[in-house]
Structure 1
Amino acid sequence: MSSPGEKTKYSPVKEAAASDGANEVPCTPQDDAICLKAKMSLLNGITVIVGSIIGSGIFVSPTGVLLYTGSVNASLVVWVISGVFSMVGAYCYAELGCMISKSGADYAYIMETFGPFMAFIRLWIECMIVRPCSQAIVALTFSVYVLKPFFPECLPPDTSVRLLAVCCIMVLTFINCWDVKWATRVQDVFTYAKLLALFIIIAAGAVQLCKGHVEYFTFDNTKTEVTQLALSFYSGLFAYNGWNYLNFIIEELKDPIRNLPRAIAISCTLVTVVYFMTNVAFYTTLSPVEVLGSSAVAVSFAEHLFGFMAWTIPVFVALSTFGAVNGILLTSSRLFYAGACEGQMPEILTMIQISRLTPTPAILFMALLSMLYLTVSDIFALINYVGFATWLSIGVAVVCLPVLRYTRPDMTRPIKVNLFFPIIYIIASIFVTVVPMIASPVETGYGCLMIATSVPVYFIFIYWRRKPETIQKAIVAVTRCLQKIMVVVGAERPAKV
């Protein structure tokens, strides 16, 4: 790793052909330059967000939310508040994304606002904990739903679940390495499939409502402890995780100033309505006891209502989670890429495959980390780790908005958010990160420990610029070897003016 902007005489070759010394020019879709290009339409943007949000969460989190709230009605309130919370955050991100239009989203915003040290901590949390852990959770859920019809009376074997999750990640890694259009096409198709699955569940629930099945909609047994309610938001917010993913690939979105806020608004509204109605549908048929005892809520729902066609729901859920894994992989690799471009990740992660024009090294790195997390199969423990790290980091990113209003009032802001919204979001973020420390000190303690590991890594690999020549040569030799294996070169970037 090197410091931002620093180059040494040992730097690997950056271009496929020898440079004639001319200045770099901005990369546009018509250029033959090797770089990430804007290929994504508004519809693609909506499907990236919807596809990234709707994954395993809606099929796993109902159990977690109900566990900590105690009653069906209280759990529905948590689902709605979680959706509104996500919308407020997405609204704040719309201003940040249009003002700082760089891939990397909140990493880029924190870099611009607080400098490289805080940005690296955010990068470390997201790259080493949140994204690969989230992808492992979704891949495990995909495996459980695929295998569940073959093991109707018991849980699928743990080893089989993990191996299938690995296969899922490897297939999607190949697709994302091959072509961005393939990846977005997969995202489009599987987003439609998951929405169809949820609409089938909602329609079945509506029929149950018309028949008067509302006996479980009460506030009976509602838990009033603040710590328990805060933990319920971890599961609820996990289901909405992904609303900021389009910001990570904003450089590949056509007309981002126009399409980013539209995609965010449409997607978040759609998902909140769908999630609420899906939960209502579940509770028209399943009792709280059945939900708490089910490892696959949608399967239990289908077994009650669909008879011999119950197998269709696990298939649709598998499609849903498959698309979610693709969405996480598509956007997460761009975060590695953005960090590497700032000199805070290995230089190889800045590079683009010369024929496919995809960030292949970053995609492969993300996939390997995700498969490493598959050594753990306790989904709810992983959700708690992810929840603490995610909302702490996103809360810091939203702090950038009022800080930049004060320190950089001259920045161009195509969208200007009322400061009431980031302030409310910051207060809520403090609630969902600080309160669970009391209720779940062990898990949050491990989360803090994982975050703290970023400090020595920063000072050793980034802050320490003048490394011995032997170490620099070794780093360059490894980088060149990986370049040859993956046939990648450094992306051409716009010249600074």
Structure 2
Amino acid sequence: MTKEDYKAVSQNDTSKSAGDKVGDDVVCLKPKMTLINGITVIVGSIIGSGIFISPKGVLKETGSVGLSLVVWVACGVFSMVGAYCYAELGCMITKTGADYAYIMDSFGPFVAFLRLWIECMIVRPCSQAIVALTFAVYVLRPFFPYCDPPKEAQLLLACICICVLTFVNCWNVKWATRVQDFFTYGKLLALLMIIVTGIVQLCRGYVQHFTFEGSEHDFTKIGLSFYSGLFAYNGWNYLNFVIEELKEPHKNLPKAIFISCILVTIVYTMTIVSFHSTLSVEEVLEAEAVGVTFAEKLYGWFTWIIPVSVALSTFGGVNGILFTSSRLFYAGAEQNQMPSLLSMIQINHLTPTPAVIFMCLLSMIYLIFEDIYLLINYVGFATWLAIGLAVCCIPYLRWKEPNLPRPIKVNLIFPISYIIATIIITVVSMSADPVGTGMGTIIILTGVPVYMLFIAWKNKPKPVQNAFDSLTSTLQKLLVVIPPEKRQDV
């Protein structure tokens, strides 16, 4: 069904307002996000449950509080360098999809598809399922104070969380950004409370844990601590995925990235300082949830505030993942590397409804897996490979396309330094876990036959093509969606 055919159908079959919308306005993703919305998308995506639950990954590999703080700050600086590079890419290639779009323009469809395949089919839906389960566990904890909540209750509440946020993201982009704003402010207030408590403790003289005693000297282990720390900062590039919906992207994208990265680095570092103003190295390493252990020591009956904060944090995290990930599906479909339905826009609400719903369904499928954490670990290194490859686009495009407009132009020392550091981190992780890396590589390579069968093979049998077209047309009518139109200002 063509766009013109669907408009004719929609004018007859839907309300007059829908027909008017199609006739009077361009149906596409609209730039509705302000600078503040952009900041909350990034901050809300970076800060999840991890900083409340288990900041011990870095401490375990560094061995001392002093060295762990150095690593936390270094990871923040490293993320800012990556963000600076992405600011040039995002202002130069203003397409939804972030590193997928940059790799597509630089290195072609096959490499871009492998990035899209692993991110869309495993990393994003698995991450969303894990965060939703964490939300469910912490919401249910007050009702099951002495044992783990029933598995069925966790799964049901996680499904409800994902479905509610799917509805919000399908209905209105502004609703989705308001949810992100509210829950980002909530988690920042909770962390501010911990930070203020830590400052009070420091003023009372509780500084005995801040030493470099016991620091690790093995370079490999220190490298692994960076791997853990950088995962905590993961999400600084998420705004690039929705750049078409950001107002004045050339001005607001770099501002949002830099403000967010600086804010998160300060908040993370001060939160770790606050934890260690009360907890020793041994207590942090033994704690199942460091934030809860910290609260139990200092807050008394007010301890419940930390589980509530984790629940708020994870709910906002699910929204951020869903909001940005659906745009990645949308970008892939626009490049004909995903079903065309996923690039279509709901004519009344101007949201990528099919992509949002598809992300929701994938996430709920992964909820039934017992080893989704293991799956994430297998393909975790692929995230850094993809980000490093995206940063490689900067020197490549400087050579290949020197005349492209670059509102922001970074010094080449930044992308080169970032690429070298990414290679080191990836090699260290591979040597530390060769089996897991091998499994991850196999999972990534499953995208090769998919690419050959569904994308590279153009002349499919007529019955197969007709079946795809019929299914697309039916779902198009059901969801009231049409392909996006080009805005006049593009």
- TM-score norm. by structure 1 comes to 0.91
* CA gap 1:15/1:285 in 2 versus in 1, 3 angstroms: farther
Runs of 4+ off more than 6 Å:
none
Mapped contact 1:133–1:386 kept (Cα < 8 A) = no
Give the Å deviation of 1:176. Answer: 0.4
Mapped contact 2:169–2:176 kept (Cα < 8 A) = yes
**What is aligned with 1:122?**
115
1:266 to 250, 259, 264: 259
**What is aligned with 1:17?**
7
Counterpart code for 1:88: V
Looking at structure 1, the residues matched to 65 and 370 of structure 2 have their Cα atoms a distance apart, in angstroms, of 27
Q: Does 1:166 align with 2:156?
A: no
**What is aligned with 2:13?**
none
Counterpart code for 1:391: W
| 1:450-465 superposed matches below 5 A | 450-465=443-458
Give the Å deviation of 1:194. Answer: 0.7
Looking at structure 1, the residues matched to 24 and 410 of structure 2 have their Cα atoms a distance apart, in angstroms, of 35
Greater CA drift, 413-422 or 117-126: 117-126
**What is aligned with 2:191?**
198
**What is aligned with 2:273?**
280
1:489 to 482, 485, 490: 482
Helix, strand or coil: the match of 1:217? Answer: coil
1:108 to 93, 97, 101: 101
Looking at structure 2, the residues matched to 283 and 440 of structure 1 have their Cα atoms a distance apart, in angstroms, of 30
* CA gap 1:208/1:151 in 2 versus in 1, 3 angstroms: farther
* CA gap 1:293/1:369 in 2 versus in 1, 3 angstroms: farther
1:131 to 124, 134, 142: 124
Greater CA drift, 177-186 or 286-295: 286-295
Give the Å deviation of 1:386. Answer: 5.0
* CA gap 1:172/1:32 in 2 versus in 1, 3 angstroms: same
Unaligned runs of 5+ in 2: 10-22
Mapped contact 1:14–1:489 kept (Cα < 8 A) = no
2:76 to 74, 77, 83: 83
| 1:264-413 superposed matches below 5 A | 264-376=257-369, 381=374, 384-385=377-378, 387-413=380-406
Mapped contact 1:57–1:240 kept (Cα < 8 A) = no
**What is aligned with 2:28?**
35
- Report the count of equivalent residues: 479
**What is aligned with 1:59?**
52
Mapped contact 1:56–1:239 kept (Cα < 8 A) = no
Counterpart code for 1:482: L
Counterpart code for 1:439: A
Counterpart code for 1:394: I
* CA gap 1:13/1:333 in 2 versus in 1, 3 angstroms: same
Counterpart code for 1:74: L
Looking at structure 1, the residues matched to 454 and 294 of structure 2 have their Cα atoms a distance apart, in angstroms, of 51
**What is aligned with 2:14?**
none
Mapped contact 1:385–1:443 kept (Cα < 8 A) = yes
**What is aligned with 2:427?**
434
Greater CA drift, 484-493 or 41-50: 484-493
| 1:239-250 superposed matches below 5 A | 239-250=232-243
Percent of aligned pairs with the same amino acid:
67
* CA gap 1:178/1:453 in 2 versus in 1, 3 angstroms: same
**What is aligned with 1:183?**
176
Q: Does 1:209 align with 2:202?
A: yes
Q: Does 1:44 align with 2:37?
A: yes
* CA gap 1:38/1:358 in 2 versus in 1, 3 angstroms: same
Looking at structure 1, the residues matched to 325 and 102 of structure 2 have their Cα atoms a distance apart, in angstroms, of 16
Give the Å deviation of 1:406. Answer: 0.5
Mapped contact 1:392–1:433 kept (Cα < 8 A) = yes
Question: Which has the larger share of helix?
Answer: 2
Looking at structure 2, the residues matched to 221 and 383 of structure 1 have their Cα atoms a distance apart, in angstroms, of 31
Counterpart code for 1:404: L
Looking at structure 2, the residues matched to 163 and 101 of structure 1 have their Cα atoms a distance apart, in angstroms, of 39
Looking at structure 2, the residues matched to 72 and 375 of structure 1 have their Cα atoms a distance apart, in angstroms, of 38
Per-residue Cα deviation, 1:429-470 (whole angstroms, up to 9, x for no partner): 111211111111222222111111111111111000000001
Mapped contact 1:14–1:491 kept (Cα < 8 A) = no
**What is aligned with 2:462?**
469
**What is aligned with 1:72?**
65
Q: Does 1:232 align with 2:232?
A: no
Give the Å deviation of 1:33. Answer: 1.6
**What is aligned with 1:144?**
137
Looking at structure 1, the residues matched to 5 and 211 of structure 2 have their Cα atoms a distance apart, in angstroms, of 64
Q: Does 1:420 align with 2:413?
A: yes
Q: Does 1:95 align with 2:88?
A: yes
Looking at structure 1, the residues matched to 371 and 68 of structure 2 have their Cα atoms a distance apart, in angstroms, of 22
Mapped contact 2:26–2:486 kept (Cα < 8 A) = no
Counterpart code for 1:73: G
CA RMSD of aligned residues (A): 2.3
* CA gap 1:231/1:61 in 2 versus in 1, 3 angstroms: farther
- TM-score norm. by structure 2 comes to 0.93
Looking at structure 1, the residues matched to 426 and 54 of structure 2 have their Cα atoms a distance apart, in angstroms, of 18
Give the Å deviation of 1:382. Answer: 5.3
Give the Å deviation of 1:213. Answer: 1.6
* CA gap 1:161/1:327 in 2 versus in 1, 3 angstroms: same
Q: Does 1:251 align with 2:251?
A: no
Looking at structure 2, the residues matched to 287 and 330 of structure 1 have their Cα atoms a distance apart, in angstroms, of 38
Per-residue Cα deviation, 1:191-235 (whole angstroms, up to 9, x for no partner): 110110000010111111112222222333333333323332232
Give the Å deviation of 1:18. Answer: 4.5
Mapped contact 2:56–2:285 kept (Cα < 8 A) = yes
Counterpart code for 2:356: I
Give the Å deviation of 1:67. Answer: 2.4
Give the Å deviation of 1:273. Answer: 0.3
Looking at structure 2, the residues matched to 221 and 157 of structure 1 have their Cα atoms a distance apart, in angstroms, of 40
* CA gap 1:386/1:193 in 2 versus in 1, 3 angstroms: farther
Looking at structure 1, the residues matched to 191 and 371 of structure 2 have their Cα atoms a distance apart, in angstroms, of 25
* CA gap 1:15/1:194 in 2 versus in 1, 3 angstroms: farther
Per-residue Cα deviation, 1:72-105 (whole angstroms, up to 9, x for no partner): 2222222111111111111000000000001011
